[in-house]
């Protein structure tokens, strides 16, 4: 079994992927299977969170089109690393920990991402933060 297959199962079991699919549905995004067990939710219509893409479980959500995400393999790689973090955080606790990390980063440098360990481990440059 490859890691992405285990990650897909673990994020289903910990509930984070189901929540991600629910968020995509509420935002009226079109959901399609992606590479390595990911779900790609495009055309997300809610204005929150303010991000070009965000991840919940194995679901990568963006307001942009499928072509936008396909043309940005580094962004996809960055967001996929967040799916590993959901496994490490045992699912939904990742959201609270991520928000706390944003606060810590903001206190340090007035930027919620540059000193956020989740973003640093996912690759600041791949995420477009540098």
Give the pLDDT confidence score for residue 20 in this predicted structure: 98
pTM: 0.95
Q: What is each CA distance from 38 to 5, 47, 101, 104, in whole angstroms?
A: 10, 22, 24, 29
Strand boundaries in 1-130, DSSP class E:
30-33, 39-42, 54-56, 59-61
Interval 64-72 mean pLDDT: 94
The pLDDT > 70 percentage for the chain reads 100
Assess whether pLDDT exceeds 90 at residue 82. yes
In eight-state DSSP terms, residue 1 is: -
Q: Band the pLDDT of 58: cuts 50, 70, 90.
A: very high
Q: Band the pLDDT of 110: cuts 50, 70, 90.
A: very high
CB atoms within 10 A of CB 114: 15
What token pair was written down for 44? 């997300």
Residues 6 or more apart in contact with residue 106 via CB below 8 angstroms: 112
Rounded Cα gap, residues 25 and 31, in angstroms: 8
Give the pLDDT confidence score for residue 61 in this predicted structure: 98
Give the pLDDT confidence score for residue 50 in this predicted structure: 87
Rounded Cα gap, residues 4 and 32, in angstroms: 17
Give the pLDDT confidence score for residue 10 in this predicted structure: 98
Assess whether pLDDT exceeds 90 at residue 130. no
Interval 4-28 mean pLDDT: 98
Cis peptide bond upstream of 52, omega within 30: no
Give the pLDDT confidence score for residue 129 in this predicted structure: 85
């Amino acid at each position: 079994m490859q890691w992405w297959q285990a990650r897909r199962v673990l994020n289903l079991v910990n509930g984070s992927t189901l929540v991600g699919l629910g968020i995509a549905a509420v935002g009226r995004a079109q959901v399609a299977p992606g590479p390595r067990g990911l779900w790609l939710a495009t055309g997300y219509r809610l204005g929150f969170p303010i991000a070009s893409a965000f991840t919940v479980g194995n679901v990568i959500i963006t307001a942009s089109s499928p072509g936008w995400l396909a043309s940005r393999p580094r962004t996809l790689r960055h967001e996929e690393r967040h799916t590993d973090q959901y496994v490490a955080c045992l699912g939904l606790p990742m959201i609270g920990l991520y928000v706390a990390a944003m606060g810590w980063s903001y206190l340090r440098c007035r930027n919620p991402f540059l000193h956020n360990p989740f973003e640093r481990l996912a690759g600041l440059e791949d995420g477009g933060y540098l």
